[in-house]
Amino acid sequence: MPLDSRAHYKRELIAWAFLPMMMGAIEGGVVGVLTKRLFSGAVDETMLDWAVAALAAAQGFANISSFIWAGVSHGKNKIRFLTMLKIAVVVMIATVSFVPRTPLGLLMLLVCVVGTRICWAGVVTLRSTVWQANYPRANRADVAGRIATVQAIILASVGLGIGEMMDHNEEAFRWIYPVAASFGIIGAWIYSKMQVIGHTKILEDERSQPELATMAPWKTVALLKEDKAFFNYMSCQFIFGLGNLMLTAPLVVVLADQFSFNYLGEILIVSTIPIILMPLSIPLWSRMLNRMHVIQFRAVHSWVFVLSALIFGASIYFGNTYGLWIAAGIRGIGFGGGVLAWNLGHQDFAPVEQSSRYMGLHVTLTGIRGLLAPALGMGLYTTLHGVGETTGGSVFFVGAAISSVGGIGFLLLSRTSPDKSST
């Protein structure tokens, strides 16, 4: 890695060691489990289950705003913009500590989580420009992998700690969230000192193309017409992701309704185990992605999630708790490759001055399926669960089937994709 890239990487790595301490408090599995248990008995149970689904969809809903962030930030200082977004996240996470355990409190919690996710969608969108500018193609998977590893370890530790503290005292969240927010302040300050290689030239290139500074979704989607290869990749990614994302909310509900787990047990299966196993697999996936185009990578990687969904479904059907732990572990291995491909995949198609535009569309499409998938998964689970307790687990077989369609699509596309990206 070039010396200037290495210096930026060290500062960024330190910043991302603090930021997950904040984001871990609203990680989907953690906040879903907390919500299900904290508000049980305080609100209607059906309403609560759909609130859990809404929390699972929060990131998806927020990601739809990505094209807006790409447009608003066009031609503007990326580091300054990113820092402001992180400060907004800090404020909303700290606010969670004040929510009462009432229907109004549930609404306040939903607003805070969705607001946080909207701002974080902007962080993810703009971060791709920084990465593409600061790190060569041959090093990006390693950089993203190491940052993801640090994040994973911290997120898993935060989830584990929150589970333990909530088991001892259900009111512990009233000080957990302000403490989490304070770590976010530190991370945002460290990141604010980052620089972007060639920043002036990137901003000049962006400003020379004012037509790309759009917040009109139809103009953003026009990119799919301009780049046929990216359209094909996004189509398979949409189908694959739909099957995967529809399973999180049903998993939280089924663990609470059909199995006898405490806070810690549920958080371990839904969040901590998958996250902690993520970094163990990242080096393998990173070497693979460095050698091949993202389409070829996805043609292999997709089937790990399919296997996990199948084991979850079988374990729920037979009431086997051991299978739940195995499925969670396999899901974590899938996360290791997923975090790399999701953050870097668009760069195999995008020129650097359009990185935010490509990432904005990618994140927006992720948002659409992330908004639809939890509702689809929860609706299907509710219907099947009404037939019989164990039949609710069949939703995991449906998710596996949908993801398989996307995986087959990647396999077909991989036959014509380049052996390596030239970007």
pLDDT for residue 218: 57
Considering only CA atoms, which of 152, 396, 153, 117 is closest in space to residue 255? 396
pLDDT for residue 421: 44
pLDDT of the chain, 423 residues: tens digit per residue: 677 788 888 888 899 889 988 888 887 678 888 888 888 888 888 888 888 878 877 777 777 777 778 778 878 888 999 999 999 999 999 999 998 989 898 999 989 998 998 898 889 888 888 888 888 877 777 787 788 788 878 877 888 788 888 888 888 889 999 999 999 999 999 999 888 888 888 888 878 876 655 555 556 677 888 888 899 999 999 999 999 989 888 888 888 778 877 777 888 888 788 888 888 888 889 889 888 889 999 999 999 999 999 999 999 888 888 999 999 999 999 998 998 888 888 878 887 767 777 877 887 788 788 778 888 888 888 887 766 655 667 889 999 999 999 999 999 998 876 554 444
Q: Which residues pair with 43 in a beta bridge?
A: 40
pLDDT for residue 296: 92
Q: What is the pTM (predicted TM-score) of this model?
A: 0.66
Instruction: Encode burial over 87-119: b for 16+ CB neighbours within 10 A, e otherwise.
Output: ebbbebbbbbbebebeeebbebbbebbbbbbbb
Q: Would you kindly state where each structural domain of the chain is located, as residue ranges?
A: 3-414
What element of type H or E holds 172? Answer: none
What element of type H or E holds 362? Answer: helix 355-387
pLDDT for residue 91: 94
pLDDT for residue 423: 43
Which residues are CB-contacts of 106 (< 8 A; sequence separation ≥ 6)? 35, 39, 42, 43, 47, 48, 51, 99
The domain 3-414 belongs to what CATH superfamily?
Answer: MFS general substrate transporter like domains (1.20.1250.20)
pLDDT for residue 1: 67
